[in-house]
Chain A
Amino acid sequence: MRMSELPPAQIPLHETADVVTARRAARELCEQLGFGKADQTRLATAVSELTRNVIQYANHGECVIENRSTATHRCIWVQVRDQGAGIANLEQALTDGYSTSGGLGAGLPGTRRLVDQFHIESTPQGTCITIVLTKPL
């Protein structure tokens, strides 16, 4: 497939405008790979949540969006990472209704529900979240 030759998008995250750039890039790749509108919206929203967390809690980081489609599946892989102080209580952060910033507390648990795979690693040296959206061709 032609799309798989595209280099991964690497979006630096420094200010709130980068959140918009990242979610747009995610939606575009989603659309190009033939995901439906529902999945496009899910992924764009998930990327928006995760990249905002970076700006809000770690000041800066980056978002990598890759096409990892295979012969049988269309697949988008997104990694959002930062070198911030990490998440002190991961279990709590993944609990519905929990927010340290006065948000609605839907951030991480909500994002997890939007994607097919969700993986988080957080240490005092930084946080790295990987999400994957796949669909059989």
Chain B
Amino acid sequence: MKIPILRLERILLVSIQVDLTDNDAMQFQSDLVEQVAEIEALGVAIDITALDVVDSYMARVINDTASMVRLLGAESVICGVQPFVALTLVEMGRDLLGADCAFNLGQGLEILRTRIATRGDTRLSEDENV
């Protein structure tokens, strides 16, 4: 199961639409991190609207992925955590999802753009030679 990673200039969009097995989740993590490095992405938005179960393992994979992306130098935001997923994660324990979140992909993108702008990196487009 391969999760498609969409590229919008130097922002990467990932929408997890299927229930991932642990192996799928690890594959997704390495694919995404690799691609962030490859294109020197400025930001990554991970949409999990379709996930109706996020257990501690999946939460860790999502958190770790967001941290890895940030270590590489890109901003990251998790979008569309379902209300009952949020409820369950908080009931299970604190800090299961520590990454930055947004209601939906649209808002996530807005957050990324603002952050990238305040960071002073204006090369949203690919014209690095200018």
Interface residues of A (CB under 8 A from B): 16-17, 19-20, 23-24, 27, 37-38, 40-42, 44-45, 48-49, 52, 55, 96, 103-107, 109-111, 113-114
Contacts and interface: CB of A to CB of B under 8 A. Distances in A.
Interface of B: 19-23, 52-57, 59-60, 82, 84-85, 87-88, 91-93, 95-96
A89 B23 CA distance: 28
Given A16-B22, A20-B19, A114-B91, A45 B60 contact: no
Tell me what chain A mostly uses at the interface: helix, strand, loop, or mixed.
helix
A16 B85 contact: no
B23 A42 contact: no
A16 B56 contact: no
Contact of B92 (A17, A24, A45, A55): A45
A106 B92 contact: yes
A52 B88 contact: no
A16 B92 contact: no
B93 A109 contact: yes
B56 A110 contact: yes
Contacts of A106: 56, 92-93, 96
B121 to A, nearest CB: 32
A114 B84 CA distance: 12
B21 A45 contact: no
Nearest to A36: B84
Given A16-B23, A103-B56, A114-B88, 17 more contacts: A17-B21, A20-B20, A23-B53, A24-B19, A27-B53, A41-B84, A41-B88, A45-B88, A45-B92, A52-B22, A55-B22, A103-B60, A104-B56, A104-B60, A106-B56, A107-B56, A114-B91
